[in-house]
Structure 1
Amino acid sequence: MEPYQIIKQPLITEKGMRLNEEGSTVVFRVDSRANKLQIKHAVEVLFNVKVLKVNTLNVEGKKRRIRYREGKRPDWKKAYVTLRDGDSITFFEGV
């Protein structure tokens, strides 16, 4: 898979921003078929940083009701990427 197919989007949450400030960890939403080595390679190529480790977890989609039917949002995969000291990825300037 191509790096642009593996990394779908960064997850900008309060927890993710706190992890980024404290220990240079960045959180991404990734392709559910990607493994840790592919995610590591994709982040290093796209953002020109050195990745120390990658932790992944599968997030189960929430159950939702639409009128009288019960449905479910799709499952997805989250990756916590720890960067080398001195490396950083910024998504917003001035934030």
Structure 2
Amino acid sequence: MDPYAVIVRPHVTEKTMNLIDRNNELTFVVLRESNKATIKNAFEKLFDEKVKSINTHINSKGYKLAYITLTEESKAEDIAVRMGVF
């Protein structure tokens, strides 16, 4: 599956900004049909960073959110800057 089709866009709120600093974690809106393995493969292919874990959640608006925790070597803040979040 195309990585650009799996990861739709970053999900930026006050809570997710705190997760970047505290937990080394990024949040994305992803394709609703995708599973954790396809999300992990798409993220690693797009950003060349290793993923520690992924949690998914479908919010009340029907969007599927992926909370992607990175390994200790990777910095979520650096990826957020590359995406233009900051």
1:81 partnered with 2:68: yes
* 1:51-90 correspondence to structure 2 within 5 Å: 51-61=51-61, 75-88=62-75, 89-90=79-80
1:50 partnered with 2:50: yes
1:4 partnered with 2:4: yes
Q: Distance in 2 between matches of 1:82 and 1:24?
A: 6
Specify which structure has the higher proportion of helix: 2
Matched pairs, number: 81
1:92 partnered with 2:84: yes
What is the TM-score with the length of structure 2 in the denominator? 0.87
Q: Distance in 2 between matches of 1:92 and 1:81?
A: 17
What is the TM-score with the length of structure 1 in the denominator? 0.79
Q: Distance in 2 between matches of 1:60 and 1:20?
A: 23
Root mean square deviation of aligned Cα: 1.3
Residue 86 of structure 1 deviates from its aligned partner by: 2.8
Q: Which runs of 4+ in 1 moved over 3 A?
A: none
Q: Distance in 2 between matches of 1:21 and 1:4?
A: 25
Residue 78 of structure 1 deviates from its aligned partner by: 0.4
Gaps of 5+ in 2: none
**Partner residue in 1 for 2:24:** 24
Identity %: 37
AA in 2 matched with 1:83: L
Gaps of 5+ in 1: 62-74
**Partner residue in 2 for 1:15:** 15
Specify which structure has the higher proportion of strand: 1
